[in-house]
A and B are shown apart, each in its own frame.
Chain A
Amino acid sequence: MEYEAVIGLETHCQLKTKSKMFCGCANEFGADPNTNVCPVCLGMPGVLPVPNELALQLTALTGYLLNCEVPEFAKFDRKNYFYPDVCKDYQITQFDFPSTTTGYVDFEFGSKIERVRITRAHLEEDVGKNNHFDQHSGVDFNRAGVPLLEIVSEPDISSADMAYDYLNALKDILIYGGISDCDMEKGMVRCDVNISVRPKGVTELGTKVEIKNMNTFSGVRRAINYEVPRQIETLESGGTLVQETRRWDDDAGMTETMRSKEHAHDYRYFPEPDLMPLRPSEAWLEEVRKHVVELPLARKQRFIQDYNIPAQDAEVFVGNVSLGDFFEKAVDGSKNAKTIANWVINNLQARLVESELTIDELKFGPEAIRELVEIIDVGEISNKGGQEVFTELFNNGGSPKAIVDARGLAQVSDSGELDKWCRDAIDANPGPADDVRNGRENAINFLKGQVMKASRGKANPQMVGETLFKLLKG
């Protein structure tokens, strides 16, 4: 029998705020244990939470970027479970009225655009971090209370690779929107993976297994690549699957049942009485919408379509937003986007990297690149001259035309002068001239070289070729 995998992902990402979700402690990675803490995020007796407005704004913004609805009413709930890293032994989250619902993410997968639907993206507080020793565990609450967005997908994913590409696309969107730095090394993104399998053609879902706390995308890919065949083999050998929570052991390369989930749990969600409901006003949402940015995929497609540049170039401008923005300004009013893209990517980007400068530190504006390409296109300077102009621009700023004038880089396109240089060259080199006349046209390059030399590089090379040909082959 042929089986198919049905996979949904719950992606948790830490929001890019200065302070925590419900208190003023710094949202900062890497501090000494239990130093970014206060009575509120330690769950001391008597404390109360006050929500961080920026976290709520970033949640709504995520909603817009993931094509979600941002409902008129949302609220916080308590999710009750005892665990050492949960400071109050309940977590503040959003249960039945989350801040955003029903959206989707489109992303490139193979040669196609795939869509994974988003069930919801809700706001909650992160928990502390458990450190494990031989005999004991130790809890650090620095992370407790950091605003965490949980993005729940529909089970629209059918393979490990698709999950991997979805996660990367999601990450790009969150970084693009300034919602999260998504630094995997710092644990800013974590995933729970829900996996079931079913015979192809069957519509009802199989028994769901949840793999918790994955902290790398490649781990997610490996875990799915392990878990799907495990489930299929279990079914094929006549076994049954139990709905359970499993843990991915990256070293062993396998999933295993989580023991900590053996004790009875029942989250007993109920509305958080310490927090008032949310009814975002139109003005508040309008403020959030001002931060909506173009998504990476849309940007790539637009660059390819509007500027007719290769996909590879478009990807550079998606990956480096400020470079892409610079390119767009340079291209404005120009007919040669492709050449401008080349200059921006091959020259400008390279020089920026080399000199460790950012685009804001440039001594010239995007219009200088447009002008440079224009004067090369009309033959006013050669490509080589162009390089010289660019170097000068990069080092000292100015306008390309002024640099050309100052350095005498303009090409000679005057036919009288060119005619003279060409006749001189033919007269001085009868051998090659005869060769051309006799059909060995390659010999013209030698004559061209002589003309360029005589003109000290200023002769327009294309016109030199044309003139020589006319004189020799008439």
Chain B
Amino acid sequence: MILHELTIGELTAKLASKEVSSREAMLACLDRIDAVDNRINAFISLDREDALGQAEAADAALAKGASHNEQSLLGVPVSLKDIFCVKNQPANCASKILGDFLSPYDGSVVQKLKQAGAVIFGRVNMDEFAMGSSTENSAFGRTCNPWDLERVPGGSSGGCAASVVAQECFGSIGTDTGGSIRQPSALCGCVGIKPTYGRVSRFGVIAFASSLDQVGPMARNVHDTAALLGAIAGHDPKDSTSVPAEVPDYVGGLDVNLDGIKLGLPKEFLGAGIDPEVQSIFDAAVRQYEALGAEIQEISLPHTEYGVATYYILATAEASANLARFDGVRYGDRVEGDDPFALYCNTRGKGFGDEVKRRIILGTYVLSSGYYDAYYIRAQKVRSLIKQDFDQALEKVDALITPTVPYTAFKAGEKTDDPLQMYLSDIFTISCNLTGTCGVSLPCGFTSSPKLPVGLQLLGKPFGEQELLKIAYAYEQATPWHKERVML
């Protein structure tokens, strides 16, 4: 048994039987990080003492008879994207601007993970303020794709995906504003779910675009993803946009029976621009679903092509306000100035990276006097149209099936000079955030040379995570892809 290779399901069984201690599991992660992270660069920071302390506390609880029935993640090491606030721990959002900020409070997801007994450790890399699709926009250096270090892991939750796939943790919690969980999951070859907007609390998550951001787990298989989601989902009175809906037993709901399931193939997604090898791997996945008993039916999402434009107006507008607070007054790195105006301009000029500046300026512009109706209101209306497309499609089918990304992981530096091309790569994932529905990405094969993972995306109904995970699970159990382990 190689401890760091275990799934959460396997680990909790061994923790319960006392075959393995949480401390051993945590040490296995730390050893693995020492061995590989100089190549991967998934971790921005790591508080080893704190991590081992939590693991020992979990062991003590287990010794006293605590069970995974009450605390589903008891003793399981889970890494966190550098966007979550953990009391007395840094949260940098991979930016220089936060300096040596230590959060004065625990966010709600962190509290839930602690209640579930998880050992939450490390701050994993991301695109600065979650703005990007490659984890290259980080003040802490780029993260590498474990399958090919020359390539990007995707983003913005690239550190989460890389740390899961490089087996530096057993699962990771990320955020998804336009595909930031699903796209890196696809490019690195793990499972990631963006839950329905309002399913998981955003309190304690450094905001990028408030009406689009959603927290979700990433893990090595569907079961682990379901277990993590079950631990973090649920209503939170501290988040006014959190929905008071019951949390089903996601793990208990997993089964391989796809009888009567209808999957919709959105014809607008399958036009030009998909890499031929990705296309054929995806086609095989669709056939696999048919073989498993699902009915495939073509559906239409006519406003798909407007998703990226809509998204970049709304997300940047919200971000321009959300990121205003990084002004060098109450926290973060300050660059002095003669008056507050100069202080702001200097601090923000130095503290933010290019992509963040680009998006703040774009967002500021689309909200500015004289342009608001033309850009912002128009985009909100198009958002309604995209939502209607989804509502209608999901009346006909149980889920939509698409490739997660039109291609595999690209090489670092390949798209950095052309932000628009980078934005357009989010075309398959973005609609799900605009509509607020849920989406999961799971591995559906590998390209041959180089060997790179390809992701399959399933898009479900509002609060339909259980159904979605079940559909994903049936495919996963019938295919070998989730068992592939990267050699490092």
A residues adjacent to B (C-beta < 8 A): 39, 42-51, 78, 80, 82-84, 87-90, 137, 139, 263, 266, 268-270, 273-276
Contact in complex: B340, A80 (CB < 8 Å): no
B439 to chain A minimum Cβ distance, whole angstroms, is 20
Contact in complex: A273, B318 (CB < 8 Å): yes
Residue of A nearest to B317 (CB): A270
Spot the interface stretch: B5-13, B223-231, B363-371, B448-456: B363-371
Contact in complex: A270, B376 (CB < 8 Å): yes
For window 196-248 of B, CB contacts with A under 8 Å fall at 202-207, 209-211, 237-241
Contact in complex: B325, A89 (CB < 8 Å): yes
10 residue pairs A–B, Cβ–Cβ below 8 Å: A44-B330, A46-B203, A46-B206, A48-B202, A50-B237, A80-B321, A80-B367, A268-B321, A270-B367, A273-B211
A143 to chain B minimum Cβ distance, whole angstroms, is 15
Contact with A along B360-390 (1 / 0, CB 8 A): 0000100111001000100000000000000
Would you call B91 an interface residue if the criterion is a C-beta within 8 Å of the partner chain's C-beta atoms? yes
Q: Is the interface of B mostly helix, strand, loop or mixed?
A: loop
Would you call B149 an interface residue if the criterion is a C-beta within 8 Å of the partner chain's C-beta atoms? no
| Complex partner residue of A84 from B93, B340, B368, CB under 8 angstroms | B340
Contact in complex: A46, B321 (CB < 8 Å): no
Contact with A along B310-326 (1 / 0, CB 8 A): 00000001101100111
Would you call B107 an interface residue if the criterion is a C-beta within 8 Å of the partner chain's C-beta atoms? yes
Contact in complex: A80, B320 (CB < 8 Å): yes
A257 to chain B minimum Cβ distance, whole angstroms, is 16
Contact in complex: A274, B327 (CB < 8 Å): no
Contact in complex: A44, B202 (CB < 8 Å): no
- The interface residues of chain A lying within 8 Å CB-to-CB of B327 are 82, 89
For window 59-95 of B, CB contacts with A under 8 Å fall at 83-85, 91, 93
Contact in complex: B206, A275 (CB < 8 Å): no
Contact in complex: A43, B330 (CB < 8 Å): yes
- Determine the distance from Cα of A48 to Cα of B241 in the docked complex, in whole angstroms: 9
Residue of A nearest to B364 (CB): A268
- Determine the distance from Cα of A268 to Cα of B324 in the docked complex, in whole angstroms: 12
- Determine the distance from Cα of A413 to Cα of B3 in the docked complex, in whole angstroms: 112
Contact in complex: A45, B321 (CB < 8 Å): no
Contact in complex: B85, A268 (CB < 8 Å): no
- Determine the distance from Cα of A268 to Cα of B364 in the docked complex, in whole angstroms: 8
Contact in complex: B321, A270 (CB < 8 Å): yes
B212 to chain A minimum Cβ distance, whole angstroms, is 8
Residue of A nearest to B236 (CB): A48
Contact in complex: A274, B241 (CB < 8 Å): yes
- The interface residues of chain B lying within 8 Å CB-to-CB of A43 are 325, 330
Q: A45-B85, A273-B209 are in contact. List 17 more A-B contacts (CB 8 A).
A: A43-B330, A44-B85, A46-B206, A46-B207, A47-B105, A49-B240, A50-B240, A51-B240, A80-B367, A82-B340, A90-B321, A268-B364, A268-B368, A269-B367, A270-B367, A274-B210, A274-B240
Contact in complex: B324, A45 (CB < 8 Å): no
Residue of B nearest to A79 (CB): B321
- Determine the distance from Cα of A43 to Cα of B487 in the docked complex, in whole angstroms: 44
Contact in complex: A45, B93 (CB < 8 Å): yes
Would you call B306 an interface residue if the criterion is a C-beta within 8 Å of the partner chain's C-beta atoms? no
- The interface residues of chain A lying within 8 Å CB-to-CB of B211 are 273
- Determine the distance from Cα of A411 to Cα of B324 in the docked complex, in whole angstroms: 83
Contact in complex: B325, A87 (CB < 8 Å): yes
With contact pairs A45-B101, A46-B107, A80-B320 given, residues A87 and B330 touching in the complex (Cβ less than 8 Å): yes
- The interface residues of chain B lying within 8 Å CB-to-CB of A274 are 207, 210, 240-241
Contact in complex: A88, B325 (CB < 8 Å): yes
Would you call B170 an interface residue if the criterion is a C-beta within 8 Å of the partner chain's C-beta atoms? no
A116 to chain B minimum Cβ distance, whole angstroms, is 29
| Complex partner residue of B324 from A42, A51, A90, A263, CB under 8 angstroms | A90
- Determine the distance from Cα of A42 to Cα of B344 in the docked complex, in whole angstroms: 17
A84 to chain B minimum Cβ distance, whole angstroms, is 5
- The interface residues of chain B lying within 8 Å CB-to-CB of A276 are 240-241
- Determine the distance from Cα of A270 to Cα of B327 in the docked complex, in whole angstroms: 21
B139 to chain A minimum Cβ distance, whole angstroms, is 15
Would you call B486 an interface residue if the criterion is a C-beta within 8 Å of the partner chain's C-beta atoms? no
- The interface residues of chain B lying within 8 Å CB-to-CB of A47 are 105, 203-204
B435 to chain A minimum Cβ distance, whole angstroms, is 15
Contact in complex: A78, B321 (CB < 8 Å): yes
B residues adjacent to A (C-beta < 8 A): 83-85, 91, 93, 98, 101, 103-105, 107, 202-207, 209-211, 237-241, 317-318, 320-321, 324-327, 329-331, 340-341, 344, 364, 367-369, 372, 376
- The interface residues of chain A lying within 8 Å CB-to-CB of B107 are 46
- The interface residues of chain A lying within 8 Å CB-to-CB of B209 are 273
- The interface residues of chain A lying within 8 Å CB-to-CB of B372 are 268-270
- Determine the distance from Cα of A321 to Cα of B330 in the docked complex, in whole angstroms: 46
B155 to chain A minimum Cβ distance, whole angstroms, is 19
- The interface residues of chain B lying within 8 Å CB-to-CB of A80 are 320-321, 324, 367
- Determine the distance from Cα of A46 to Cα of B213 in the docked complex, in whole angstroms: 12
- Determine the distance from Cα of A82 to Cα of B345 in the docked complex, in whole angstroms: 10
Contact in complex: A266, B324 (CB < 8 Å): no
- The interface residues of chain B lying within 8 Å CB-to-CB of A83 are 340
- Determine the distance from Cα of A45 to Cα of B83 in the docked complex, in whole angstroms: 9
- Determine the distance from Cα of A415 to Cα of B331 in the docked complex, in whole angstroms: 93
Contact in complex: A46, B330 (CB < 8 Å): no
- The interface residues of chain B lying within 8 Å CB-to-CB of A45 are 85, 91, 93, 98, 101, 103, 206-207, 325-326, 331
- The interface residues of chain B lying within 8 Å CB-to-CB of A275 are 240-241
- Determine the distance from Cα of A50 to Cα of B269 in the docked complex, in whole angstroms: 39
Contact in complex: A263, B341 (CB < 8 Å): yes
- The interface residues of chain A lying within 8 Å CB-to-CB of B368 are 266, 268
Contact in complex: B203, A48 (CB < 8 Å): yes
Contact in complex: A42, B203 (CB < 8 Å): no
- The interface residues of chain A lying within 8 Å CB-to-CB of B104 are 39, 44
- Determine the distance from Cα of A73 to Cα of B204 in the docked complex, in whole angstroms: 29
- Determine the distance from Cα of A337 to Cα of B248 in the docked complex, in whole angstroms: 69
| Complex partner residue of A50 from B207, B238, B320, CB under 8 angstroms | B238
| Complex partner residue of B105 from A39, A139, A268, CB under 8 angstroms | A39
- The interface residues of chain A lying within 8 Å CB-to-CB of B317 are 270
Residue of A nearest to B323 (CB): A89
With contact pairs A80-B367, A88-B325, A89-B325 given, residues A46 and B237 touching in the complex (Cβ less than 8 Å): no
- Determine the distance from Cα of A51 to Cα of B239 in the docked complex, in whole angstroms: 10
Contact in complex: B318, A46 (CB < 8 Å): no
- Determine the distance from Cα of A89 to Cα of B98 in the docked complex, in whole angstroms: 16
- The interface residues of chain B lying within 8 Å CB-to-CB of A263 are 341
- Determine the distance from Cα of A90 to Cα of B320 in the docked complex, in whole angstroms: 10
Contact in complex: A46, B204 (CB < 8 Å): yes
- The interface residues of chain A lying within 8 Å CB-to-CB of B330 are 42-44, 87
Residue of B nearest to A130 (CB): B340
A403 to chain B minimum Cβ distance, whole angstroms, is 59
B204 to chain A minimum Cβ distance, whole angstroms, is 5
Contact in complex: A46, B324 (CB < 8 Å): no
**What are the 5 closest A-B residue pairs judged by CB atoms, nearest first?**
A89-B324, A273-B210, A268-B367, A273-B211, A45-B206
Contact in complex: A44, B238 (CB < 8 Å): no
A338 to chain B minimum Cβ distance, whole angstroms, is 56
Residue of B nearest to A44 (CB): B104
- Determine the distance from Cα of A49 to Cα of B237 in the docked complex, in whole angstroms: 10
A215 to chain B minimum Cβ distance, whole angstroms, is 22
B465 to chain A minimum Cβ distance, whole angstroms, is 21
- Determine the distance from Cα of A44 to Cα of B324 in the docked complex, in whole angstroms: 11
B60 to chain A minimum Cβ distance, whole angstroms, is 30
- The interface residues of chain A lying within 8 Å CB-to-CB of B207 are 45-46, 274
- Determine the distance from Cα of A264 to Cα of B129 in the docked complex, in whole angstroms: 26
- The interface residues of chain B lying within 8 Å CB-to-CB of A88 are 321, 324-325
- The interface residues of chain B lying within 8 Å CB-to-CB of A48 are 202-203, 238-241
- The interface residues of chain A lying within 8 Å CB-to-CB of B340 are 82-84, 137
- The interface residues of chain A lying within 8 Å CB-to-CB of B341 are 82, 263
- Determine the distance from Cα of A42 to Cα of B85 in the docked complex, in whole angstroms: 15
Residue of B nearest to A40 (CB): B238
B54 to chain A minimum Cβ distance, whole angstroms, is 21
- The interface residues of chain A lying within 8 Å CB-to-CB of B329 are 84, 139
A431 to chain B minimum Cβ distance, whole angstroms, is 94
A291 to chain B minimum Cβ distance, whole angstroms, is 25
Residue of B nearest to A265 (CB): B369
